[in-house]
Amino acid sequence: MSDTTTREYVSTDRRRENTDEAVTEEETQEETQVCPECGGSLITDEARGETVCGDCGLVVETDAVDRGPEWRAFNSSERDSKSRVGAPTTRMMHDKGLSTNIGWQNKDAYGKALSARQREQMQRLRTWNERFRTRNSKERNLKQALGEIDRMASALGLPENVRETASVIYRRALDDDLLPGRSIEGVATSALYAAARQAGTPRSLDEITTVSRVDKMELTRTYRYVVRELKLEIEPADPEQYVPRFASELDLSDEAERQARDLLRNAKKAGIHSGKSPVGLAAAAVYAAALLTNEKVTQSEVSEVASISEVTIRNRYKELLEVDDAGLFA
């Protein structure tokens, strides 16, 4: 018999062995999923660590390993206090939340107060911990900017997804070297403004400026530069996106909010929204809707909520009502 024929026989035997092993594993898995006595389905009782048959009650397995925590929690606060895992990674922190934080409370693991010498030692450890968390100028820059984004987002009431998107935009700007010649606060504010528009929860430039440390001119100039260099796809702001927030702050009814949306849709069909501020149109629609639904709202109140002058509201709401009347009698 030649060497070639011998190799063919050996390879054939190995394939048969592998096939037999695979079949045996599949049969074992099927057997563990069904009861060996009656063929019924098996149920795992985690409280007792047993696997029993749901039909005949046969105990198939005992002393199963419980891979869950050894503690019990009956509400969310207990679960959070007893859990030993940290928060998920996030882009809103310069180190993505992976570094260790030393608590500010001067107490030990048993809740007892530390001595003066121990407090001094812990304060020294906190200082060195902060120094190690930002190892270079880029991380210090990122830490300052992300803190600024979080501060402004909290002041504007923006959700967490907007903060996360703004952090990603700022990181991209930092990686592409867009910051030389521009302030950290300006780029951070521009990133937050762009993220809010992308998420469908826009804020006006005046609202952003009130919580920012840069003026409106620098904000608009930096925003255009960041959007152009990063090639961000941002659609023009829709006036209807401002209506729910304005109506909520003015405590208007759902009928008034629906009426304001209808006024803006009619304005879009007539084409009078082109070239006009979406914030001004939204504020005017809210005011006009309040008049149509007999709800008491003054122009000064709407002006304060929307950060728009009363003159703009008067001019725009008259145009909206004219378009609405023309649509009714058409």
| Binding-site residues for Zn(2+) | 35, 38, 53, 56
Helix, strand, coil percentages for the chain (3-state, nearest 5): 60, 5, 35
Distance CA 34, CA 125 (A): 57
- The predicted structure's pLDDT at residue 150: 93
Kindly report, residue by residue over 149-187, the tens digit of the pLDDT: 999 999 999 999 999 999 999 999 999 999 998 999 999
For the 239-328 domain, the top CATH level (class) is mainly alpha
Q: Which pLDDT band holds residue 102 (cuts at 50, 70, 90)?
A: confident
- The predicted structure's pLDDT at residue 23: 44
Superfamily of domain 88-96+103-235: Cyclin-like (1.10.472.10)
Q: Radius of gyration of the chain from Cα atoms?
A: 32
Q: Is the pTM of this model over 0.75?
A: no
Ranges in the chain annotated CATH 1.10.472.10: 88-96+103-235, 239-328
Kindly report, residue by residue over 257-293, the tens digit of the pLDDT: 999 999 999 888 888 877 788 899 999 999 999 988 9
- With contact defined as beta carbons under 8 Å apart, do 89 and 81 qualify? no
Q: Which has the minimum average pLDDT: 11-20, 96-105, 181-190?
A: 11-20
- With contact defined as beta carbons under 8 Å apart, do 162 and 153 qualify? yes
**Count of CB atoms within 10 A of residue 246's CB?**
22
| Binding-site residues | 35, 38, 53, 56
Distance CA 237, CA 320 (A): 18
